[in-house]
Amino acid sequence: MSQTVEQIISAKWVIPVSGDGQKSNKVLNDYSVVVDKGVILELMPTPEVLSKYQTDHHFQLNDHALIPGLVNIHTHAAMSLFKGLADDLPLMIWLENHIWPAEREWVSDEFCEDGLKLAIAEMIRCGTTTFNDMYFQPNMTAKVAHTLGMRATVGMLMFDFPSVWGNGPEDYLKKGLQLRDDYKHHEMIQFAFAPHAPYTVSDEPLKKIATLSNELGIPVHMHVHETAHEVKEGLKNTGKRPIKRLQELGLMTPNLIAVHMTQLQRGEIELLMQNGVSVAHCPQSNMKLASGICPVQELITAGVNIAIGTDGNASNNDLNMLAEMKSAALLGKVFTGSAQACSAHDILHAATYGGAKALGQEDAIGSIEIGKAADLTAINLNTIESQPVYDPVSQIVYTAGREQVSHVWINGDIKLNNQQLVGIDIDEVIQRANHWKNAIQGQA
């Protein structure tokens, strides 16, 4: 007799993405993923699945590729309300005259709640199942992600200076760890230390984070070497490049998620590799803010784990991981002068398994494997834009638009069903976004 399970997802192509370093992802044709209690129970050929399992929820996705849910490794999700507020400006004018004043005036629990809903709706619609966030009011990040059933790693934000979220390093640390404690029974809400950047957090609090990170096995999510200016100022102020300083402070470990990394010398790439640091590559943000280019192919070749992120909506201006994958592949090629660099297969790996590994969650998510959480994304390739299909991985990275994402499951719960968001009221989310825009533009 066949076993009853919660869901069977049969797809034309299942692309499990392996974590074994083999980057040419195998493609399983006419395959099914059996899901029960939020977990992947089995992968098997579709013609055989119904002889072994039965279910009330059989998704037959005859035109679709099924991939691991995408992991967005670097966001400031609530900033979605500032999407397009100030574009095409020099970095410091953008920050000092627009973003920082707007943040000082507007960021609050309520603002972040509305911004997070807008961001999470956008992320699910493009196939993202996990995001790694760094922003004010992480209490709201945890709350909204939990409420909407989104998998999140919440950044325990820290600066040297006070903000709406804390008074200084000790206060930030205390609040962050308290929040983490509040969510210790919510496995989908994980936490990372999130010291903003080398130039905004001083040595003592960074040392404390290094110690706690090692003791507790908590990731450290930090902007590092985003621009040449940052590195130059770091050298001037401390006598060493920021990476060197972080190494001396004990932060160069497999827990570190070093975001941006557009400035790297060869010895530094070896340092990252030897210490198991993950690099969070945000190509569209680096391009739009003219920050520089992360040497992704060199890092891949050296064996450094790469993850992909969109950065915040104020500097992208979307949270579209499909577009980010294409940008990563394209930028990697023109930067190295080699059309082989940053292949579609490598980039899909980075956007799934690479992200999971950066978060220390590669045993739970990041690939379609038995025993892992059912974080899954289905992409319809039977469109004018993606046909014909020679290699579904190429079509996903180079042709698929977010509108082709048809189904998304997080921990086995369906969040996008035939392109319809489940449990999120789009009209209300948009209405709230407009409320904030009118307030910010003085039209309230």
Residues that bind a second copy (CB under 8 A): 81, 83-91, 94, 118, 121-122, 125, 284, 286-293, 316-318, 320, 323, 326-327, 329-331, 333-334, 336-341, 343-345, 382-391, 394-395, 398-399, 401-403, 426, 429-430, 433-434, 436-437, 441
Q: How far is the CB of 286 from a second copy (least distance, A)?
A: 6
Nearer to a second copy, 361 or 386 (CB): 386
Q: How far apart, in Å, are the Cα atoms of 9 and each of 24, 60, 211, 414?
A: 23, 6, 43, 11
Residue 386 beta carbon to a second copy: minimum distance, rounded to whole angstroms? 8
Nearer Cβ to a second copy, position 216 or 339?
339
> Shortest gap between Cβ of 137 and a second copy (angstroms)?
19
Selection from 244, 262, 346 nearest residue 305 by Cα? 346
CB of 90 to a second copy, least distance (A): 6
Strand-pair category, 28-36 with 7-14: antiparallel
Alpha carbon distance 400, 419 (integer Å): 14
Beta strands 405-410; 128-133: pairing state: unpaired
Distance CA 119, CA 333 (A): 30
Q: What is the DSSP letter of 351?
A: I
The distance of closest approach from Cβ of residue 310 to a second copy in the complex, given in angstroms and rounded to an integer, is 12
Comparison of 83 and 357: residue with beta carbon closer to a second copy = 83
Q: Residue 339's Cα: distance from chain center in Å? A: 26
User: Nearer to a second copy by C-beta: 75 or 317?
Assistant: 317
DSSP 282-296: -HHHHHHTT-----H
Whole-number minimum distance, CB 367 to a second copy, in Å?
A: 21
Looking at the Cβ atoms of 255 and 327, the one nearer to a second copy is 327
Q: Which is nearer to a second copy, 245 or 432 (CB)?
A: 432
Cβ atoms of residues 339 and 333 within 8 Å: yes
Question: What's the angle, vertex CA 177, arms to CA 173 and CA 178, rounded to 5?
Answer: 115
Nearer to a second copy, 24 or 147 (CB): 24
Nearer to a second copy, 199 or 398 (CB): 398
Query: Among candidates 208, 226, 204, 221, which has minimal Cα distance to 277?
Result: 221
The pair of structure tokens assigned to 149 is 């059933």
- On whether the CB atoms of residues 286 and 262 are closer than 8 A, the answer is yes
Give me the least distance between CB of 366 and a second copy, in Å please: 22
Of 213 and 386, nearer to a second copy (C-beta) is 386
Q: Token pair of 122, please?
A: 């956008």
Amino acid sitting at position 221: H
Minimum distance from CB of 350 to a second copy (Å)? 14
Distance of alpha carbon 213 from its chain centroid, rounded?
20
Say which DSSP state 352 is in: I
Looking at the Cβ atoms of 46 and 395, the one nearer to a second copy is 395
Q: Are 403 and 420 in contact (CB under 8 A)?
A: no
Least distance to a second copy, CB of residue 263, Å: 13
Token pair in block for residue 393: 């991985």
3-state secondary structure of 356: helix
* CB nearer to a second copy: pick between 157 and 314: 314
Interatomic CA distance for residues 415 and 410, integer angstroms = 7
The nearest distance, CB 313 to a second copy, in angstroms, is: 8
Show the DSSP H helices in 344-425 as ranges.
344-349, 355-358, 392-398
Q: What's the min distance (Å) between Cβ of 203 and a second copy?
A: 30
- List of E strands, 24-109: 28-36, 39-45, 53-55, 58-68, 70-75
